[in-house]
Chain A
Amino acid sequence: MTSIDVREADGGVVLAPSGRLTVVTAPELRTTVAERITAGDKIIVVDLSGTEFVDSSGLGALVSCLKSARQAGGDLRLVAPTEQVAMVLRMTNLDRILQPRASVADALHG
């Protein structure tokens, strides 16, 4: 199960999905990001410190959300992946286009 905590921040918005990001929960992430882009947020920070598991469906949602954010003139940035998430990002070479930032502050203003 996943729930996504949404925090307004200076410079953007911070989304923190907790639990697993799989085919079950990826649609919720896509919807939440789409809503924030429509609301005018440019920098979407995905705080992965509470995301204990991601699979190809979760990664697909992150790539899709990254493209949507960039098309809207913004960006999507990852922060604090857990060990499992970092492993899957490396296995898929997605750490090249979704290179995690050191902190939420870095992600918002870097």
Chain B
Amino acid sequence: MSHIVEVPATIESIDVVQAEFDTWWTSLGEQKLETRFALELAVVEIATNIVTHTERAEGSAGRRYQLTLDADDATLTAVFADNGMPADIDLSTVTMADPDDEGGRGLALAIAALDSLDYSRVNGRNIWTLVCKR
């Protein structure tokens, strides 16, 4: 069964997303801790990306995003959807920042943590699809 979370596109929403992730994860029963670390990290990175992109591009007033968490026998999937401006991103060019850099690690970490990360623009919405094998 899907676990659906809808929150305002604000910095504080990250805490709500993590609390909901925790509830969903607990409902799955016993799982590998490293899988949780990986998926939760990627979920937080993408949520942060959505929130900060929204604030920069158009302000967060009235903006919301949705997270749908799903599990089947083989995979764990997190899908983000928001109706903000298109994310100007080419995931194939993302590389990890140097140790001295203060920023630029979010998407690289998400990609490294996941088995797949996809971004698409569908019917005026940004769709991020995060997949981890169980």
- Please give the residue numbers on chain A whose beta carbons come within 8 Å of chain B beta carbons, in ascending order: 1, 20, 22-24, 53, 55-57, 59-60, 63-64, 67, 83-84, 87-88, 91-94, 96-97
Contacts and interface: CB of A to CB of B under 8 A. Distances in A.
A63 B101 contact: yes
Q: Majority SS of interface residues in chain B? A: helix
A93 to B, nearest CB: 5
B96 interface: yes
B99 A84 contact: no
Contacts, number: 70
A63 B99 CA distance: 8
B15 A1 contact: yes
A21 B104 CA distance: 17
Give the interface size class of chain B: 20 to 34
Interface string B83-102: 00000000000001101111
Given A23-B14, A60-B105, 7 more contacts: A20-B18, A22-B44, A23-B48, A53-B40, A55-B41, A60-B102, A87-B34
